Amino acid sequence: MKLTILIHCKDQTGIIYAVTDFLFQKGGNVVYLDQHVDKEAVVFFMRLQVEFPNGFSNAEFEAEFETLLAQPYEMKWSCHLEGVRPQMAIFVSKYNHCLYDLLSRHRSGELEVDIPFILSNHTDLAYIAAKFEIPFHHVPISKETREKAEEIQLELLKNSQIDFIVLARYMQIVSSTVIDQYPSKIINIHHSFLPAFAGAKPYHAAFKRGVKIIGATSHYVTEALDAGPIIEQDVLPVSHTHSIKDFIAKGRDLEKIVLSRAVKLHVERKTMVYNNKTVIFM
Amino acid sequence: MKLTILIHCKDQTGIIYAVTDFLFQKGGNVVYLDQHVDKEAVVFFMRLQVEFPNGFSNAEFEAEFETLLAQPYEMKWSCHLEGVRPQMAIFVSKYNHCLYDLLSRHRSGELEVDIPFILSNHTDLAYIAAKFEIPFHHVPISKETREKAEEIQLELLKNSQIDFIVLARYMQIVSSTVIDQYPSKIINIHHSFLPAFAGAKPYHAAFKRGVKIIGATSHYVTEALDAGPIIEQDVLPVSHTHSIKDFIAKGRDLEKIVLSRAVKLHVERKTMVYNNKTVIFM
Amino acid sequence: MKLTILIHCKDQTGIIYAVTDFLFQKGGNVVYLDQHVDKEAVVFFMRLQVEFPNGFSNAEFEAEFETLLAQPYEMKWSCHLEGVRPQMAIFVSKYNHCLYDLLSRHRSGELEVDIPFILSNHTDLAYIAAKFEIPFHHVPISKETREKAEEIQLELLKNSQIDFIVLARYMQIVSSTVIDQYPSKIINIHHSFLPAFAGAKPYHAAFKRGVKIIGATSHYVTEALDAGPIIEQDVLPVSHTHSIKDFIAKGRDLEKIVLSRAVKLHVERKTMVYNNKTVIFM
Amino acid sequence: MKLTILIHCKDQTGIIYAVTDFLFQKGGNVVYLDQHVDKEAVVFFMRLQVEFPNGFSNAEFEAEFETLLAQPYEMKWSCHLEGVRPQMAIFVSKYNHCLYDLLSRHRSGELEVDIPFILSNHTDLAYIAAKFEIPFHHVPISKETREKAEEIQLELLKNSQIDFIVLARYMQIVSSTVIDQYPSKIINIHHSFLPAFAGAKPYHAAFKRGVKIIGATSHYVTEALDAGPIIEQDVLPVSHTHSIKDFIAKGRDLEKIVLSRAVKLHVERKTMVYNNKTVIFM
């Protein structure tokens, strides 16, 4: 029985001792501990993994943690039992490279999630969902139907008890209706090195500006477009010999790798969000 | 006798043949040729190195090149005899890392330039100039004295027949008075991955945004702040564990390497500027 | 009508002029030219793209090129008409990540080849071939049957007029019987930064050595194991926190990207081999 | 009063709790804790920073730590009071780039060490020592005088109470006489991506092999040549266009950056050595 615990709270004297003492009293053996203090924001972050060789009651543990630690220290915290697979929905539009990448990782056992469905505003990628035998929902979206479409999305998400959503080059803006239900639980890939080239057509903008490096950024979706907490970024060199088409082709490799890394970090409970930034544990 | 020739003009049929034919007629042997066509802008760029085993008159060559090639094809071009060392001025303020880096490269023979002087609006780095036995000019600058200071700068530049200027973390804005005299001949280092975080305090801005990669950018100075043609960029990964102070320390390594690479490319006549972008030959 | 021409020969005075002059006489317009001289080996390499706006006879062109250029200059050369798709065979074993990556790129139009078949010594990946509707040949191999298996392979290759072979984590050694038929035409991916960790289990060896960076290398297959001409390499940082399993997972991303880049360079005729090294044109 | 503590021992249940409990009892406040378990070797590593707001006796602390923690858990451990500057000797030969880099970092306050002297088997770099006003010892070395020279070295090291040695492109082999006095305390920079190209002339070997990436490696010196625990590595892309001279010039930038990073990690007590590998804390 292995438990991953994530904690953040105001930085205070004695927290590490208080938590390790509590776990010791409960018969837990800390097998991993990483912590971080944001000295500017005076916030403490900790991620622990704890084994309980002599049995463990989840309900009792959570209740006592809440009373004895979380309340006195005003912690925000969560804990996750090993082996519980998160339910992940994938939203796509017409580009297939990120979808292929996620599904082939899933198939090879690298991504320990269930994928109850793939959703798209187009039908172009239905054939990939079919290849991988994953249900595909076509929810078209337009200015007029946006509200209705989001209702359908929310219902699908709820019915499948989705834990988090991956926007794998889903070219639509997700509104607060959905974001509010999935705070820090919608992962997007943007095809630029944010904050450079936010918004539409970043490769065109990068080409015009004559940059020598292009990038991709995976971030949690917030209401501010392309401005949510960054999870992962990576870059590739380019030169004057590359056309916009070359940027796009090279960028595909970045996008799929960066998105998959971010999804893995999220699935392994290695991300914490604070002040529109992320703490990424190793 | 080796000549480096840089050419750009509207893309036209038969240019490569016309140039190589002309050089052949003049007894030249092309030992290097690289060319590039910007298909969007329909502009042709070429860099050649030519050896003349049977003697060579520079004046005659330039006159004929102008008449037989440059005028018919409406070329902009320049040619550079091997062994002529460019005169490079360095402008600094208080930070020493880029200056040390340039001077130690110069001393070890890596940078084939002369450095007639170092100029600064402060006296902090005069001791380094003294260590390396290079004249140091202190030209203080303030809102009121800016105009007068720039006059002094221009006079110093003119007296030493300076070919190009390196701003090695010179924290002052260079005005059009100086830029107009040195178009595409002033090289700046900006401590961010442009166009992200242009302007003041880029490391603070990068920290606040929570980026996972920081960068540095070397570019030719134009009147638009931090918006000139990019010569070279590089990046380093950062994480939540790094403070602003860490960003600054890591950034110093980026800045000095990126600036020195850009200076070398310029000195070796490997850069061409067009449409606020650069072509960088290999 | 666009032609790509690759040339290499002993470095001699006047070659660039000779070639461009010949092309001009044939009515060709050089739209791209890149050349390289290996000064140690005194060998000249050139890649050109030429358009023939006024018609073009391939047979006549090749005959005259041979007589007027190739023979006098003792060139090795090849030329390739735009639009002719190479026939690419993929050999795999049990790992699926490189195969998925190649096939999804092929499907999205990024790889301009035909894939007549996938061959494996196991049946594990037959389902992927089926998903992508590509013929799958199961050719088991063992010490005893190696010779017979290679005969079957050669027959399959011949029947499909295969131009080149990609070993997408094919865990078998390819013998000279096959290599001799496909010199510089078999592309392998090795999961280390060669020449470090050649041979079996490179991630285990890298872990034991405690390296801080892992790599992958794509190279042409020669008889010397993992010692052929390197086409492309890339690396990723690792740390003490990563297990061998982590190395393997991270390595998969490297392998598929590096292999695909190498395949693309080969397909676009951007590689030339000399002295067990490659020249890679941009 | 801030203390950095480094611990390693066999992995056992309850260590984190035992240590944090002990520190709590001593009035210490843990402000940083990072730990690592090497699951293969079953070894536990921990780095802590502890503040003692209510006073602190170093002798008493060390005695109790030894009795109550180190002995029962069979720990190897060390502790370091903030503000104690390590004494660092630099050994050089004829190349100046690493020396310039270290000294300019030292001068700008980035490296918090004292540098009692620079030692060389040549006098070429004495002028740099003079520029930076650091004593310079010339200790020539030859096959016949090696033993005597090492005696002189050891005496110089002892007289200046040197804590660790940086070999900044010192081209001599350091024998066990010196290594035994400075186990895991001599930092070397090797100009290749180890374990590839160990030994002499790595850039020549890399050029011959046709690699597409070159590297540099900083490691602790052990008796096995270029085979000690790796602290830091970095790489740069190269291509067929680069000569050996280019490799060497590019490599200089790698060498100085990689060496300086390794020295900083060592100075900040972020490195631990085990099984000929390093644990590098963040």
Instruction: Say how many CA atoms lie within 13 Å of D223 toward its Cβ.
Output: 4
Given an 8 Å threshold on Cβ–Cβ distance, is A240 in contact with B36?
yes
Other C-beta atoms closer than 10 Å to the C-beta of A33 total 21
Choice among A226, A234, A246, A253 that is catalytic: A226
Contact D213 C233 (CB under 8 A): yes
D neighbours by CB contacts (3+ pairs under 8 Å)? A, B, C
Q: Is B230 exposed, middle or buried (0-12, 13-18, 19+ CB in 10 A)?
A: buried
CB D186 within 8 A of CB D167: yes
Instruction: For residues D177 and D200, state if they share a domain.
Output: yes
The verdict on B56 and B148 lying in the same domain is no
Smallest Cβ distance to A21: which of D21, D32, D237? D21
Lookup: tokens for A174:
């997700």
Handedness of CA B239, B241, B245, B250 (dihedral sign): negative
Here the CATH number for the domain that contains residue D62 is: 3.30.70.260
| Alpha-carbon separation of residue A121 from A125, A152, A153, C85 (angstroms) | 10, 12, 11, 34
**Residue pairs spanning A and B at CB distance below 8 A:** 79
Closest residue in A to B229 (Cα) is A210
Instruction: Select the residue of D13, D30, D37 nearest A16 (Cβ to Cβ).
Output: D30
pTM assigned to the model: 0.94
Q: Name the token pair of C188.
A: 């392998």
Q: How far is CA B159 from CA B163, B184, B238, in A?
A: 11, 20, 45
Indicate the residue type of D104. Answer: S
pLDDT range class, residue D1, cuts 50, 70, 90: confident
Residues A74 and A114 occupy one common structural domain: no
Cβ <8 Å between A278 and B235: no
What DSSP state is assigned to residue D169?
Answer: S
Question: What pLDDT score does B55 carry?
Answer: 84
For residue D270, the number of C-alpha atoms closer than 13 Å in the C-beta half-sphere is 14
CA–CA separation, D186 vs D196, rounded Å?
21
Please report, in tens digits, the pLDDT of each residue of chain B (282 residues total).
Answer: 899 999 999 999 889 999 999 999 999 999 999 999 998 899 999 999 999 998 888 899 999 999 999 999 999 999 999 989 999 999 999 999 999 999 999 998 999 999 999 999 999 999 999 999 999 999 999 989 999 999 999 999 999 999 999 999 999 999 999 999 999 999 999 999 999 999 999 999 999 999 999 999 999 999 999 999 999 999 999 999 999 999 999 999 999 999 999 999 999 999 999 999 999 998
The whole-angstrom separation of Cα A181 and Cα C234 is 40
Residue A26 contacts D where some CB pair is shorter than 8 Å: no
CA nearest B282 in A: which residue? Answer: A239
A226 is catalytic: yes
Confidence of residue D104 (pLDDT cuts 50, 70, 90): very high
Residue C275 CA to residue C39 CA, distance in Å, equals 13
- Subunit contact B16:C30, Cβ cutoff 8 A: yes
Establish if A23 touches chain D: CB-CB under 8 angstroms.
yes
Residue pair D174/D182 in contact by the 8 Å Cβ criterion: no
Strands B277-280 and B271-274: antiparallel
Q: Are residues C268 and C147 in the same domain?
A: yes
Q: Report whether the peptide linkage leading into residue A195 is cis, meaning its omega lies within 30 degrees of zero.
A: yes
D-facing residues of C in 233-252 (CB < 8 A) are 233-235, 239-241, 243
Chains in touch with B (3+ beta-carbon pairs under 8 Å) read A, C, D
Taken as a whole, chain C contains a residue count of: 282
Angle formed at CA D187 by CA D182 and CA D190, multiple of 5 degrees: 140
Rounded CA gap, A262 and B79, in Å? 50
Report d(CA C93, CA C88) in Å as an integer. 17
Candidate from D16, D31, D37 with C-beta closest to A20: D16
- Whether the bond between D195 and the residue before it is cis, its omega within 30 degrees of 0, is yes
Tell me: do A129 and A221 sit in the same domain.
yes
Residue after which a domain boundary falls, among C41, C63, C81? C81
Considering only CB atoms, A96 lies closest to which of C101, C104, C241, namely C104
Q: Which residues pair with D88 in a beta bridge?
A: D164
Burial bucket for residue C131 (CB in 10 Å: 0-12, 13-18, 19+): middle
Largest CA distance in chain A: 64
Cβ pair C39:D243 closer than 8 A: yes
d(CA D76, nearest CA chain B) in Å? 26
φ/ψ bin of C115: left (φ > 0), alpha (ψ from -120 to 50), beta (otherwise): beta
Could you give the angle at which helices A97-107 and C97-107 cross, rounded to 10 degrees? 160
* Same domain membership, residue C110 and residue C6: no
- Best residue of B32, B92, B100, B111 to probe chain D, by most D CBs closer than 10 Å: B100
Cβ–Cβ < 8 Å for D42, D10:
yes
Residues 6+ apart with CB under 8 A from A143: none
Short-list C54, C59, C66, CA closest to C26: C54
Q: Which chain A residue has the Cα nearest residue B272?
A: A240
Gyration radius from chain B CA atoms: 21
Same-domain pairing of C94 and C178: yes
| CB pair distance less than 8 Å for A100 and C104 | yes
| C24: helix, strand or coil | helix
Instruction: Find out whether the peptide bond into C116 is cis, omega within 30 degrees of 0.
Output: no
Distance, in Å, from the CA atom of C141 to the CA atom of A109, rounded to the nearest integer, reads 27
Domain end marker among D19, D46, D81: D81
Residues D58 and D116 in one domain: no
Do B117 and B230 belong together in one domain?
A: yes
Q: Is B101 on the interface with D (CB under 8 A)?
A: yes
Cβ of B253 and D260 within 8 Å? yes
Domain of residue C10: give its range. 2-81
Contacts of B196 in chain A (CB under 8 A): 193-196
Query: In B97-228, where do the E strands start and end?
Result: 118-120, 136-138, 164-167, 186-190, 213-220
pLDDT tens per residue across span C26-78: 999 999 999 999 988 999 999 999 999 988 898 999 999 999 999 999 999 99
Claim to verify: residue C42 and residue C117 sit in the same structural domain: no
Distance CA A69, CA B143 (A): 57
Residue C5 corresponds to which tokens in the numbers above? 């021409």
Look at residue C39 in the predicted model and tell me its pLDDT: 87
Contact (CB<8Å) A20/D20: yes
Over residues D76-85, mean pLDDT: 93
pLDDT-based confidence at D56, cuts 50/70/90? confident
Instruction: Report the gap between the CA of A132 and the closest CA in chain C (Å).
Output: 8
> Within this chain, do residues B58 and B142 fall inside the same structural domain, yes or no?
no
- CATH at residue A154: 3.40.50.170
- By DSSP bridging, strand A277-280 and strand B29-38 are unpaired
Nearest CA in chain A to D46: A33
Tally of CA atoms within 13 A in the half-sphere of D97 that contains its CB:
23
In chain B, residues with a C-beta closer than 8 Å to the C-beta of D125 are none
Last residue of a domain, one of B49, B81, B113: B81
Q: Are A168 and A91 in contact (CB under 8 A)?
A: yes
Per-residue pLDDT at A1: 81
pLDDT tens-digit series, residues A142-154 = 989 999 999 999 9
To the nearest whole Å, the CA of B21 is away from the closest chain C CA by 6
Average pLDDT, 10 consecutive residues per value, chain A (282 residues): 95 92 93 91 95 89 96 96 95 96 93 97 96 96 93 97 98 94 98 95 97 98 96 97 95 96 97 97 90
Q: What would the pLDDT profile of D118-166 be if each residue is shown by its tens digit?
A: 999 999 999 999 999 999 999 999 989 999 999 999 999 999 999 999 9
Residue D107 contacts B, CB cutoff 8 Å: yes
Closest-CA distance, C100 to chain A, in angstroms, reads 7
| CB-nearest partner of A249 from C101, C107, C110 | C110
C69-117 pLDDT per residue, tens: 999 999 999 999 998 999 999 999 999 999 999 999 999 899 999 999 9
Rounded distance between C-alpha atoms, residue A134 and residue A160, angstroms: 13
- With vertex at residue D171, the alpha carbon angle to CA D169 and CA D172, rounded to the nearest 5 degrees, is 135
Q: In what order do the strands lie in the sheet with C29-38?
A: B76-81, B2-10, B43-51, B29-38, C29-38, C43-51, C2-10, C76-81
Measured N-to-C along each axis, helices B244-267 and B97-107 cross at an angle, to the nearest 10 degrees, of 40
- The mean pLDDT of D28-35, rounded to a whole number, is 92
Would you tell me the crossing angle of helices C202-209 and C244-267 to the nearest 10 degrees? 120
Residues of A in contact with B273 (CB under 8 A): none
Q: C53-61 — which CB contacts under 8 Å span 24+ positions?
A: C53/C27, C53/C29, C54/C27, C55/C1, C55/C27, C56/C1, C56/C3, C56/C27, C56/C28, C61/C3, C61/C26
User: For chain D, what is the radius of gyration of the CA atoms?
Assistant: 21
D227 and D113 part of one domain: yes
- The 10 Å Cβ neighbour count of residue C195 is 19
The number of CA neighbours under 13 Å toward the Cβ of D201 is: 6
Q: What's the structural domain count of chain C? A: 2
CB proximity C282 to A under 8 Å: yes
Indicate the burial class of B131 (C-beta count within 10 angstroms; 0-12, 13-18, 19 or more). Answer: middle
Read off the pLDDT of each residue in D46-74 and give the average, rounded to a whole number: 94
The per-residue pLDDT for A241 is 94
Task: Give the tens place of pLDDT for each residue, C139-184.
Answer: 999 989 999 999 999 999 999 999 999 999 999 999 999 999 999 9
